Amino acid sequence: MKCDIKDIHIADKGRLRIQWAAQDMPVLNLLKGRYGAYKPLKDINIAACMHVTTETANLVETLKIAGANVVLCASNPLSTQDDVAASIVRDMEIPVYAIRGENSDIYYRHIFDALESEPHITMDDGADLLTTLHKDFDLSKVLGGTEETTTGVIRLRAMEEEDALKYPVIAVNDADTKHLFDNRYGTGQSTIDGIIRATNRLLAGSIFVVCGYGWCGKGIAMRAKGLGARVIITEIDPIKALEAVMDGFEVMTIREASRIGDFFCTVTGNINVIDMGEFSNMKNGAMVANSGHFNVELNLEALEKMTKFKRVIRDNNVEYTLKTGIKINILGEGRLINLASAEGHPSAVMDMSFANQVMAAIYLVNNHHTLMKKVYRMPIELDKEIAKLKLDAMEIDIDELTEEQEHYLNNWEHGT
């Protein structure tokens, strides 16, 4: 089988960890049973460009069980778990192109490798696969695609706007069971986890600056506060900024915040959010991470120019000594800190995100002929079904509308 991974011999450890993840992915397990029976993805080629983690392993296994031919490549050069890649290849017999720490050239070569499979469906985590496919490949066989992230959806909507999008895409990210959970609780916990592993610093009593108060930013802020930090938010959207104020956080410009923060974490989807001016302001010992999709949120080039000396002081932690003598620590090379320095989102949230991926793929197969070259929301009924399956797995019962209530809600004439 074609593939490009680091070392097939570490598959055992990967397999155990994949099993561990599976134990906290009840919805995906249920779908394995359901779709294994009637193979709704039979003969469908799927190219998936995702973080190669234990949860993704369970996703691609589910897709295969549902009948698909799957290939997998990395959606980030630093996020691949090599033991997991090995087990996917060896134990699931699914081709993988991903090596942790691969450079940008190899990263894109791997995307090309994956696209050689002539996919009917693309699965993206940041839209690199889709955009590469749009630039350099024949699109005639493609039925549709899915996109996992806020960042990817922003790119796709820009493409749609310019009529550059050539097939329908389901914005899995916009499913409630994805972005309300994965982006908030998943990113929240795992980002903090990555920062703590890279620093072992106490958050209690520290000043923690979160750039961006979208769902991810809300999650990180909530967790930093939950660990005792004094949290500062920076934003460009006045509504989100005001929400942060009302949530009890301080809000100020990043320029102002850069003078006082101990920790910084960007999660904006934008470029150069922490730039030369901010680095110049920072206190000695400031720790800077990014949890946005791309590592462009920190202007590391600018930082390099300001630096006279740098060294790796801990795993995933590079100390830059500036010409001024001030030391700044960049965590995980500015890449997604939860994947670079921790293990990505916990399985429990990826369970729902990936149940959306599976259902979205089947939905595309069944409905592609009625869909336009647009970005679509995940159908709300599927979204709610996933939530219900998750609650069932947790043995949590909720209320159902009585007939009387259903009638009441549909009747506008009752008043005070």
- Based on the shown chain and the rule CB under 8 A, indicate whether residue 185 belongs to the binding site for its own copies: yes
Binders of its own copies among 343-382, rule CB under 8 A?
Answer: 343, 345-349
Contacting its own copies within 68-97 (CB under 8 A): 75-77
Using CA atoms, how far apart are residues 40 and 162, in angstroms rounded to an integer? 33
Q: Within 290-319, which residues bind its own copies (CB under 8 A)?
A: 294, 296, 311-314, 317
Q: Do the strands 207-211 and 263-266 form a parallel or antiparallel pair, or are they unpaired?
A: parallel
User: d(Cα 48, Cα 342) in Å, to the nearest integer?
Assistant: 22
Q: Does 277 bind its own copies (CB under 8 A)?
A: no
* 16 scored as a contact of its own copies (CB under 8 A): yes
Residues within window 137-176 making contact with its own copies, judged by CB under 8 A: 154-156, 158-159, 162, 164, 176
Contact 122, 146 (CB under 8 A): yes
Q: Measured between alpha carbons, how far is residue 352 from residues 11, 21, 116, 325, 344 in Å?
A: 26, 13, 29, 47, 15
Q: Which 38-67 residues touch its own copies, going by CB under 8 A?
A: none
- If the CB atoms of residues 23 and 370 are measured against its own copies, the closer one turns out to be 23
Binding of its own copies at residue 7 (CB under 8 A)? Answer: no
Q: For the CB of residue 39, give the shortest distance to its own copies in the complex, in Å.
A: 27
- Of 316-335, which residues contact its own copies (CB under 8 A)? 317, 327
Q: Least CB distance from residue 29 to its own copies, whole Å? A: 12
Residue 342 binding its own copies, by CB under 8 A: yes
Q: Select the residue interacting with its own copies from 2, 93, 372, 408 (CB under 8 A).
A: 408
Per CB under 8 A, does 120 bind its own copies? Answer: no
In order, the DSSP letters of 345-399 are: S-HHHHHHHHHHHHHHHHHHHHHGGG--SSEEEPPHHHHHHHHHHHHHHTT----
Is residue 224 within 8 Å of residue 203, measured between CB atoms?
Answer: yes
CA torsion through residues 289, 290, 291, 294, sign? negative
Cβ-based nearer residue to its own copies, 94 or 165 = 165
Q: Is 205 in the site for its own copies (CB under 8 A)?
A: yes
Local structure of 308: helix, strand or coil? strand
> Which position among 45, 177, 341, 357 is part of the footprint of its own copies (CB under 8 A)?
177
CA 80, chain centre distance (Å): 13
Smallest CA-to-CA distance from 254 within 239, 235, 268, 267 is with 235
How many whole angstroms separate alpha carbon 306 and alpha carbon 301?
9
Our finding on whether 113 is near its own copies (CB under 8 A) is no
Least distance from its own copies to the Cβ atom of residue 42, Å: 30
Beta-bridge mates of residue 331: 317
Which parts of 224-253 interact with its own copies (CB under 8 A)? 225-230, 234-239, 241-243, 245-253
Residue 8 binds to its own copies (criterion: CB under 8 A): no
Residues 6 or more apart in contact with residue 259 via CB below 8 angstroms: 281, 282, 283
Among 132, 187, 341, 353, binds its own copies (CB under 8 A): 132
Pick 69 or 75: Cβ nearer its own copies: 75
Alpha-carbon gap, residue 54 to 263, rounded angstroms: 29
Shorter beta-carbon distance to its own copies: residue 67 or 243: 243
Of 1 and 394, the one with the shorter C-beta distance to its own copies is 394
